[in-house]
């Protein structure tokens, strides 16, 4: 299985639509930095999807050692994204899960391979793990996930 690091956004969005399990099915273990765990569980306290994330024994919380890199990244992306990028570099991750465009740009500058929530759904579709890709995209949108009309149209044309 590949070494995969995730930021909070893919975890939260997939949990909101009841598809957090796709991460385990596709990647096995997901490694998250402490700040991502805090963002998901402590700051999200009381929300239904948080229980799914908190109880996922295949999510491993890891400490980031590269504090200087985290401080540098904090000038342009948030704490969870900064720690996720730093952790991915530290452990030589095969993949990092990020949705935010600024964070993706930073990860790209460091040569990291990435995907996001939609990329996870696309892979799940290719591997036959979804009954309806369209339905999953609709659920994401109903749960405050922003996707441009042009991108959604292009994705659904391929469905």
Looking at residue 158, what is its pLDDT? 65
Give the end-to-end CA distance of the chain in Å, rounded to a whole number: 27
Instruction: Compute how many other C-beta atoms are within 10 angstroms of the C-beta atom of residue 1.
Output: 8
C-alpha 104/C-alpha 135 separation (Å) is: 26
For the chain, the average pLDDT equals 93
What pLDDT is recorded for position 18? Answer: 94
Overall average pLDDT of the 20-48 stretch: 90
Q: In the predicted model, what is the mean pLDDT of residues 119-146? A: 93
Provide the pLDDT for residue 23.
Answer: 97
Main-chain phi, psi angles of 27, to 5 degrees: -125, -10
Whether the pLDDT of residue 118 is over 90: the answer is: yes
Angstrom distance (rounded) from CA 140 to CA 48: 15
The better pLDDT of the pair 35, 155 is held by 35
Sorted by where each starts, the structural domains of the chain and their CATH numbers stand as 4-157 (3.40.50.1010)
Judged against a pLDDT cut of 80, whether residue 46 lies above it is answered with no
Find out whether 26 and 94 touch, Cβ atoms under 8 Å.
no
If one counts every other C-beta atom within 10 angstroms of the C-beta of residue 121, the result is: 25
Q: pLDDT tens-digit profile of 47-105?
A: 778 889 999 999 999 999 999 999 999 999 999 999 999 999 999 999 999 999 999 99
User: Given this model, what pLDDT does residue 91 score?
Assistant: 97
What is the model's pLDDT at position 153? 84
Of the listed ranges 88-92, 136-140, 145-149, the least confidently predicted one is 145-149
Residues 83, 98 contacting (CB under 8 angstroms) = no
Angle at 68 between CA 66 and CA 71, to 5 degrees: 115
Q: Inform me whether the pLDDT recorded for 30 exceeds 90.
A: yes
Strands of 55-150, DSSP E: 59-62, 95-97, 114-115
pLDDT at 152: 84
Total-model pTM = 0.93
């Amino acid at each position: 299985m590949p070494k995969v690091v995730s930021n909070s956004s893919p975890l939260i969005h997939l949990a909101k639509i009841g598809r957090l399990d796709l991460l385990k099915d596709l990647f096995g273990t997901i490694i998250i930095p402490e700040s991502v765990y805090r963002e998901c569980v402590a700051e999200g306290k009381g929300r239904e999807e948080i229980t799914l994330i908190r109880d996922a024994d295949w999510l491993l919380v890891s400490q980031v050692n590269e504090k200087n890199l985290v401080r540098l990244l904090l000038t342009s992306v948030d704490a969870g994204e900064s720690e996720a990028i730093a952790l991915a570099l530290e452990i030589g991750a095969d993949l990092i899960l990020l949705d935010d465009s600024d964070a993706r740009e930073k990860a790209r500058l460091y040569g990291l391979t990435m995907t996001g929530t939609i990329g996870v759904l696309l892979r799940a579709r290719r591997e036959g793990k979804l009954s309806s890709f369209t339905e999953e995209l609709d659920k994401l949108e109903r749960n405050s996930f922003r996707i441009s009309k042009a991108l959604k149209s292009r994705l659904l044309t391929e469905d």
